[in-house]
Structure 1
Amino acid sequence: MQIRVLGCSGSIAAGSRTTSFLLDADVLIDAGTGVGDLTLDELARIDHIFISHSHLDHVLAIGLLADSVTRRRSAAQRPPVQVHALAPTLAALRTHIFNGVIWPDFTRLPNPEHPVLALRAFEVGDAIVLGGRRIEVLPAAHTVPAVGFAVSEGDAPAWVYTGDTGPNPALWQRLATLPLGALVIETAFRDDEHVLASVSRHLCPSQLRDELARLQAPVDVYITHIKPGEVETVMAEIGAQASRHRIRALTTGQVLAL
């Protein structure tokens, strides 16, 4: 099992793509601008999309992917791509994107009987098993309903993605009982932007330090969602802190083997 980083930036610029991860060849975790780097054949192999929350940088590729693969999936009589998210997130997609104004409703296209997308609601604590891979829905604390995910296979330690979140005690309560192989956690702002981080329910380096202190054992930590042009500054502030964890910036194109 492997996870390919398609995008891990907090916004766009040359070389910066917003959040998306490809699990093996058939599962997307979030669907930001990084999805656009996949070939058409790779797009057509995706059967499931797990969405952490409704913000544009995490969902904008869903509709574009649907448009790209409709003909191939219809010709092969493939079932709909399953879009998994919290019920409020799915409602936001229906209301604000798949509404015929911003984008066509691909939950009813090419026809209502055989659409290219199907929306599937989950709740925090649910675990979806796909071909031996277990994807658990974790709590997040953001400005809209949001989650993270723990991905595991068999008895192997989990790869955990926090999603967009501010300080989140419920997450660490769960992780205390979960074998943890790697942690992808956001740090969207510098420490001098701590007020903005708190208002927008993201993390800055000092908050990250306090969150990671809740972990019982050392772990490989990958920082995601840093704004374009801010990576060196944010990582320098993180690096200046004492930590028992191995902390690195996540990079687009990186492949994590689990």
Structure 2
Amino acid sequence: MSLSVRILGASGGIGPNRRTTSILIDEDILIDAGSGVGDLTLGELEQVRHIFLTHSHLDHIGFLPMLADMVYSPDAPPIQVHALPATLKALRDHVFNWVIWPDFTCLPSPERPLLQFQAIQPGQQVMIGSREIHILPALHTVPAVGYGVMHNDGMGFAFTGDTSSSGALWEALNTLPYLDLLMIESGLPDEMDGMADLAKHYTPHRLADDLEALHHQPRIAITHLKPGHESAIRRQLQQSRHASRMVLLEGSERFELHAQNRALKVG
């Protein structure tokens, strides 16, 4: 058995060959629904049964309405949308409100809607088949979480979501039983520390400092680089003692996690 992690989007912005955050776990679980979702075929979209959202910002939820529209039919099986209560409220108030988009939480009927909202909290676990989803705390400008995906064969992947330095996050990561691949952001270069403080994003030197608290030794996948700053962020990350374990995501990578081969990049 393996755990498939397909990076659909990992950019901190848009432009040629840039897609915003979305990760497909195996064939049925989606973490975030940024513009990377738009590269899935209709058949692939129809296999998604669970969507875990890290927070309410548009680059992480923007393609959820269009995904719903694409797979909708009166007899379509429901999709479970897992998120913090504040994130679900933002979706109800500002997206699925019949003004911005039809309310797929009551279509085709309130008794059997296409989108079924499930509130979660940090510290909770959600079991889906052979995978246990751990809800991780994060620190961003809006209520936010990350996710750890543990396969019962002994493989683990974690995505921090958008976050800045948070002791609670690293404590939660250390409690995971195993961690082969960690996807974490470094959105702005070191010289923009002030902006990073306001926007609650990591810079390379702050990420390097916090990685010292991690007990696991995973492959580290860097995400959410802001367009125009990629070169500076890449150069600064290369100065970290963790650089040999890092890969800077472009948004088309696929990782197959095996209990024996650990994090194997296959595409």
TM-score normalized with structure 2 length: 0.91
CA distance in structure 2 between the partners assigned to 1:120 and 1:18 by the alignment: 23
CA positional deviation for 1:206: 1.1
Cross-structure match for 1:6: 8
Q: Is the 8 A contact 1:79 1:114 kept in 2?
A: no
| Structure 2 counterpart of 1:246, one-letter code | R
Q: Number of matched residues?
A: 254
2:129 to 127, 131, 138: 131
- 1:184 corresponds in structure 2 to 183
Counterparts in 2 of 1:209-224, with a 5 A limit? 209-224=208-223
Displacement of 1:240 after TM fit? Answer: 1.7
Question: Contact (CA 8 Å) 2:180, 2:217: kept in 1 or not?
Answer: no
Q: Are the counterparts in 1 of residues 18 and 250 from structure 2 also a CA contact under 8 Å?
A: no
Gaps of 5+ in 1: none
Going from structure 1 to structure 2, the CA distance change for 1:192 and 1:243 (only over 3 Å counts) comes to same
- Deviation >4 Å, runs of 4+: none
Q: 1:186 corresponds to which letter in structure 2?
A: E
1:153 is displaced (CA, Å) by: 0.7
- The aligned counterpart of 2:206 is 207
Matches within 5 A, 1:246-257: 246-257=245-256
> Is the CA contact 2:179–2:217 (under 8 Å) kept in the aligned structure 1?
no
Match of residue 232 from structure 1:
231
Identity, % of aligned pairs? 46
Structure 1 CA distance, aligned partners of 2:245 and 2:149? 20
Segments of 5+ residues of structure 2 without an aligned counterpart are: 258-267
Could you tell me how far apart the structure 1 residues matched to 2:218 and 2:71 are? Answer: 38
Are 2:154 and 1:152 aligned? no
SS in 2 for 1:129: strand
Match of 1:17 in 2: 19
- What is the aligned partner in structure 1 of residue 44 from structure 2? 42
Q: Is the 8 A contact 1:221 1:245 kept in 2?
A: no
Residues 135 and 215 (structure 1), Cα distance of their counterparts in 2 relative to 1, 3 Å cut: same
Comparing 80-89 with 246-255, greater Cα deviation is found at: 246-255
Aligned to 2:89: 91
Q: Greater shift after overlay, 196-205 or 208-217?
A: 208-217
Deviation at 1:227, TM superposition (A): 1.2
User: SS of the residue aligned with 1:21?
Assistant: strand
Kindly provide the amino acid, as one letter, of the partner of residue 86 in structure 1. L
8 Å contact kept, 1:66–1:116:
yes
- 1:52-91 aligned within 5 A: 52-71=54-73, 74=74, 77-91=75-89
Q: 1:64 to 1:217 in 2, by over 3 A?
A: closer
Deviations 1:156-176 (A, max 9, x none): 142110000000100111222
- Offset, 1:213: 1.2
Instruction: State which of 40, 51, 54 in structure 1 corresponds to 2:53.
Output: 51
Kept in 2: contact 1:3–1:21 (CA 8 A): yes
Q: 2:130 touches 2:151 (CA, 8 Å); kept in 1?
A: yes
Distance 2:57 2:174 in 1: 28
| CA deviations over 1:168-225 (Å, ceiling 9, x no partner) | 1001112223222111100000111110001111001111111111113432111000
TM-score, normalised to structure 1, is 0.95
